[in-house]
Structure 1
Amino acid sequence: MPTFVYMTRCDGCGYCVDICPSDIMHIDPTTRRAYNIEPSMCWECYSCVKACPHHAIDARGYADFAPLGHSVRVDRDEERGTIAWKIKFRDGREKEFLSPITTKPWGKHIPKLAEVSGPSKEMRDSQLLFNEPKYIRMDDGGLHTLESNGLKMKEGVYY
């Protein structure tokens, strides 16, 4: 299902417009609110949902992870380096899924390749992509854990 915007929450910041890979999120010039100009062309990538600081954009999830009549809320916490997906079912039950963020913080840019030194022979012979460990935050000792992100396991939250 395509994305939709809660007009009362949207302030027209444009983060969704900047990040949409199919260029279908636009800002209405009259109301200064975001909207999806071509819902049938939505890739359902959730980029705009994750980028929106006001939780104004929503999308109905696929039936394989949440049955009809549910809602999916996304909470991105830059300070803790996590993103949480909360699914609320029709019967009132809620499930929350917590994941580490593997991208640069909002507003930070990955340097242009011309500014980065070329790969070494060891890196070229590796199965990893160019600078992959650095950009997914694995260059400082491996995958991050709940503890390394300052998080604790709690009941009702699925990691």
Structure 2
Amino acid sequence: MPSFVILDKCDGCKALDTTACQHICPNDLMVLDKETMKARNQDPQMCWECFNCVKICPTQAVEVRGYQDFVPMGASVTPMRSTEDIMWTVQFRDKNIRPKRFKFPIRRGVEEGKAQPFGHYETGDEDLKSPTLMCEPASLNTERGPVKMDKVPTL
């Protein structure tokens, strides 16, 4: 599902000539409606669903349905940016389930060629037929033992 703007939340980036979502959209789809001074996606069918506009919006007025590979159907995904990291909140369709939160660092300001994309994880074995992902098993945090199903794990 392409990006869409919640008009009640959008302030048009305080009525500047262009909005933050206009600047960051790689397909130049976001435009500022001069009459309402609200942003909108001018061609939803061409949206790449890259989440750039969602992450940069200062009022959290832009939403995109999360991909099925990282959130269940019907869940909403909301990023909250700070200067150091992005906190992703997944709110499930069933509001009785507590939302899940994931925190990732922002690499802005890192000198070119100095970023550590794998962090402190070793990159697993080099066998392409292996069922493990690149940073597994180190990134799975399996050293804390099995998780009991009667309690929801917290981050």
Do they superpose with TM above 0.5? yes
RMSD between superposed Cα atoms in Å: 2.1
Deviation at 1:143, TM superposition (A): 4.5
Deviation at 1:68, TM superposition (A): 1.5
| Residue 34 (str. 1) matches residue 39 (str. 2) | yes
Question: What are the ranges of 5 or more consecutive residues in structure 2 without an aligned counterpart?
Answer: 14-18, 121-152
1:116 corresponds to? none
Query: Which amino acid in the other structure matches residue 154 of structure 2?
Result: G
Question: What are the ranges of 5 or more consecutive residues in structure 1 without an aligned counterpart?
Answer: 105-109, 111-129, 145-154
State the alpha-carbon separation in 1 of the partners of residues 154 and 36 from structure 2. Answer: 39
State the alpha-carbon separation in 2 of the partners of residues 86 and 58 from structure 1. Answer: 12
| Residue 68 (str. 1) matches residue 73 (str. 2) | yes
| Residue 56 (str. 1) matches residue 61 (str. 2) | yes
2:154 corresponds to? 156
User: Normalized against structure 2, the TM-score is what?
Assistant: 0.68
Deviation at 1:64, TM superposition (A): 1.5
Percent identity, aligned pairs only, is 43
Deviations 1:13-54 (A, max 9, x none): 100001100000000010000000011111111111010111
SS of the residue corresponding to residue 99 of structure 1 reads strand
User: Normalized against structure 1, the TM-score is what?
Assistant: 0.67
State the alpha-carbon separation in 1 of the partners of residues 7 and 154 from structure 2. Answer: 31
2:89 corresponds to? 86
| Runs of 4+ residues deviating >3 angstroms | none
Say how many residue pairs are matched.
Answer: 115
